[in-house]
Amino acid sequence: MASSYTICVLPGDGIGTEVTDCGRQVLDALSGRGGPRFDYDVRPAGYYTFLGVGHSLPDGTLDAAKAADAVLVGAMDVAQIPPHGGDPLGGLRIGLEVSASVRPSRTIDGIAGPTNDIDCVVVREVTEGLYSRDEYMGDDDAAYAVRVVTRKASTNTARMAFAQAMARQETYGRPSLVTAVHKVGVLKLSDGLFLEACADVAREFPEIAYETANIDTCAMDMVRNPGHFDVILATNAFGDILSDVAAGLAAGLGLAASACIGERWAYFEPVHGTAPDIAGKGIANPCATILTVAMMLRYLGEDESADVVETAVYGVLEDGKIRTGDLGGNATSTEMTDAILSSLKIK
């Protein structure tokens, strides 16, 4: 008998609501063909939720996220939410006690990117660092942001990175490498603590190669020699930037999936933003969300279904007949989703 899961869905803002629906169609197609079954608990969060109820992440939404087996999140317009309106993504990360963000980037056949030699995962801490939300004004002409790095969060993030490396080593049948990124020459205490925690975890995984790299050197080497990297381990801001670099080198944000995973809970969200310039036009690329759905399936232990979804997406992209505007075509979101649905090969 097929497994059954409850998915808390936060459609978000802009194109988030549109492409999240595309992801649900893929899940429903799997269910209709004998795969796992899904029930959805749709909850409000984001900028428009703030405008409606005065807070961007209502308590009921966070409670529903904790009660679900996984959470599927659409893009949210966090930039427009004032401080008193809350931070929906930050609230999710802290409330769900996630350990790290996991963002894979790989060259996709049929998609011309700046390089054809990238296949890596950026694992970054997502609850502190420069995004600790601890800012203050020293006086009228000086603003300060506190960069918080703790041993616990750094250790949890490092363990996630090494777990990803172990999984990739098993999948690819080759040695894996974790690269911890830092600027310890300047940030001696905060990055010093981060590297100390990473080294402690590295000793627990002697079968995984481990190295460290300055953030500026790593960014340059990602452009010059992207094939060197396997798993990149970073603090919050550094990892945020490097994961976008990796996505740009691979195929762009329209194909970039991500997950924020902890010991008890996890949420899954495409990397792209709300794209207000195309919102409501039905032309957004749903592939990032559908690949994010595949990550969610893998988290739930449904590896076979995840493989089916990824194979369908990559097959449509390689074929090249159906492409949205960001990929040089003129297909609608519905046309792209329908092509992927038609390509689902249930085993």
> Tell me, what CATH number does 317's domain have?
3.40.718.10
List 216, 281, 303, 345, catalytic entry: 216
Residues 153, 224 share a domain: yes
Same domain, 161 and 274: no
Same structural domain for residues 240 and 123? yes
Instruction: Check residue 113 and give its pLDDT.
Output: 73
Q: Is 328 left (phi over 0), alpha (psi -120 to 50) or beta?
A: left
Catalytic residue among 21, 41, 244, 338: 244
**Which of 57-61, 65-69, 107-111, 313-317 bottoms out in mean pLDDT, i.e. has the lowest?**
107-111
Q: Give the number of other Cβ atoms within 10 Å of residue 87's Cβ.
A: 17
b/e code 208-230 from CB counts within 10 Å (16+ = b): bebebbbbeebbeebeeebebbb
**Residue 108 domain flag:** no
Range of the domain at 60: 1-101+252-347
pLDDT digits (tens, 9 = 90+) for 259-288: 999 999 999 999 999 999 999 999 999 999
- Whether 141 shows a pLDDT value over 70: the answer reads yes
Question: Whole-prediction pTM value?
Answer: 0.94
Domain boundary among 217, 235, 250: 250
Kindly report, residue by residue over 282-315, the tens digit of the pLDDT. Answer: 999 999 999 999 999 999 999 999 999 999 999 9
Rounded to 5 degrees, what are φ and ψ at 301? 90, 10
Task: Decide if 240 is catalytic.
Answer: yes
* Residue 183: active-site member: yes
* Active-site annotation holder among 69, 119, 183, 338: 183
Q: Are residues 123 and 241 in the same domain?
A: yes
Domain boundary among 250, 273, 289: 250
Where does a domain end: 250, 278, 301? Answer: 250
Q: Are 292 and 258 in contact (CB under 8 A)?
A: yes
C-beta of residue 246 within 8 angstroms of C-beta of residue 103: yes
- 109 in any annotated domain: no
Catalytic residue among 5, 47, 48, 131: 131
pLDDT digits (tens, 9 = 90+) for 2-49: 899 999 999 999 999 999 999 999 999 999 888 999 999 999 999 999
To the query of whether residue 244 is one of the catalytic residues in this protein, the response is yes
Verify that 187 and 272 share a domain, yes or no.
Answer: no
Q: What are phi and psi of 39, to 5 degrees?
A: -110, 140
Domain total for the chain? 2
140 is catalytic: no
Which is the catalytic residue, given 47, 240, 314, 326? 240
Looking at residues 216-230, what average pLDDT do you find? 95
Region 69-73 average pLDDT: 98
